Structure 1
């Protein structure tokens, strides 16, 4: 046998190396193809609204490819849609470590904080973005919304007023600015903007708020008109029924008011004001057991509602549960020492229960509070309560 034409060891090594590189490249191509397929499947699951499946697939993908920032951002989006805000925020923060200048990531992180209800953190993050983009109306509106939640009403107004003229048709801006002006005791200025949002945006929530403000301004016809408009858009607009009930009450139609309060509670059983006011009507009609039930259910919603506790004490007195009534009234005056009606009821009960020293003490408090009230003049009437911050 001749060995002259056998390949050299160097040639064999070269060929083997080439083959190994070829296989390695093919393996890399396969891994990239697998990653793209997994990413596509996860994205499609997210688009279909199957966020739970998307989370599982994105997590699996990131175990193999932790460097994929887009996959991590989409994982965070899926987590937000599931209400798992802390996990989403952590994913956005990890993505930002890889791409600290990614404006979309910074925006979505701030939005996740907002959705979580961490308005302070959201305000700080939106504020940073706003500093770099002062004319970005979307960022300014979201930042103002955060300020409104944080009760920084003046800051919210200062953010949006300069942008309003150049964005007259931006209803999100008008809505936040309108609410801010109302809360800043400029009801007519705020109402103009809220009514604009209601009419142009056909928003039940805006009609509800406008109705409350009109009622506070004693423009009862417009209040009723906007409340009815809210109900036409959304038959479950509980606060609109509440407004109609209060309007019926002002006109002396107690039965009509009771019907509207019941509609409000059917639309939203957790409407504390409707439940308390319905209990007051039952008390006035001497339906004491019904009144007690409404007040107990209201206190289950908010144990710190002093008005409800006071009204429950009146029912307890009427049903001759005097000791319980005293305890509830004592809680009221402890929480709000300047509130006159509980002191009047408490003074009377102390005398009925043969506790003259405590009765005399309460009587003196009543006389002092009445003198202060006469000195300062009557308090402005409250015809409705504004809804909570957005």
Structure 2
């Protein structure tokens, strides 16, 4: 009889878990459609079925982040991590929240946890690179951006940020390579053209500099018009 009861209980728990996962998927679907209110209701249903569903708290945090409810977002991300420390998205999201708040030192630990959990994630290395750059650790930032690019050759933000560091270090040839890669990947990437223009100007390649700045101007990048007038006329 005890064995039968245990089996029945196990089946019940599996059924509840399945129901909770279904509600969680429904919440994700509704959120993708921009239906925030109904997404929240679906998350509530998921947590009623399974109060220990870390992914539901993480998604609740995502919604709070979108609504700029920072305290609520942090509470939900931390709850998700408490329930499931191996949840990569919650670690990455908590890091992003701290970054949004300008808490760069606090952002480092969860972002590093995300890197360890998903060592093949381009996004995790990109995020840690941005944190390192903000903390003044340029070499570590370059290493992370390089890793991000190695995982995804079209990671335009890693290329742009690495190019910016090279520019600050007066390594203009390397900076130009990264900025050129940016605009090849996305010809509408206006700040890439602007940065490339300034970088080429630094090495007295005025023709290339002005072409890039004019492209930035066409794309209406702030400051590009003035740069063309000051540097190219």
TM range, normalised to the smaller chain? Answer: 0.7 to 0.9
Which whole-Å CA distance do the structure 2 matches of 1:363 and 1:198 have between them? 52
**What is the match of residue 283 of structure 1?**
133
Cα RMSD (Å):
2.2
User: Partners of 1:196 and 1:173 in 2: how far apart?
Assistant: 10
1:351 is displaced (CA, Å) by 0.9
1:334 is aligned to 2:184: yes
Determine the structure 2 residue equivalent to 1:180: 29
Provide the C-alpha distance between the structure 1 equivalents of 2:22 and 2:112, rounded to a whole number of angstroms: 34
Point out where structure 1 has 5 or more consecutive residues left out of the alignment: 1-168, 373-390
- 1:16 aligns with none
Query: Where does structure 2 lack aligned partners over 5 or more consecutive residues?
Result: 1-17, 223-233
Q: Deviations over 1:281-300 (max 9, x none)?
A: 22233322111111122122
CA distance in 2, matches of 1:309, 1:195: 40
Q: Contact (CA 8 Å) 1:282, 1:290: kept in 2 or not?
A: yes
**Deviation above 4 Å: which 4+ runs of structure 1?**
none
- In the aligned structure 2, how far is the partner of 1:240 from the partner of 1:275? 15
Q: Size of the alignment, in residue pairs? A: 204
1:171: which partner in 2?
Answer: 20
Q: 2:215 aligns to what?
A: 365
SS of the aligned residue for 2:220 comes to helix
Q: How far apart in 1 are the matches of 2:32 and 2:91? A: 22
TM score, norm. by length of structure 2 = 0.78
SS of 1:255's partner is helix
Question: Alpha carbons of 1:353 and 1:198: their partners in 2 closer, same or farther (altered >3 Å)?
Answer: farther
Name the residue aligned to 1:351: 201
My pick for the range that moved more, 185-194 or 209-218, is 185-194
Contact 1:214–1:223 (Cα < 8 Å) also in 2: yes
Task: Report the CA distance shift for 1:274/1:195 in structure 2 as closer, same or farther (over 3 A).
Answer: farther
| 2:41 is the counterpart of 1:200 | no
Offset at residue 366 of structure 1 (A): 1.9
1:371, 1:303 → 2: CA distance? 25
Larger Rg: 1
How much has 1:270 moved relative to structure 2? 3.1
Alignment match, 2:87 = 237
Specify the alignment match of 2:169 in structure 1: 319
Moved more, 261-270 or 174-183: 261-270
Q: In structure 2, do the counterparts of structure 1 residues 361 and 195 end up closer, same or farther at CA, with 3 Å as the change threshold?
A: farther
Distance 2:221 2:94 in 1: 35
TM-score (norm 1): 0.49
State how far apart, in whole Å, the 2-side matches of 1:234 and 1:371 are.
43
1:295-314 matched pairs, under 5 angstroms: 295-314=145-164
1:320–1:209 distance in 2 versus 1, CA, 3 Å: same
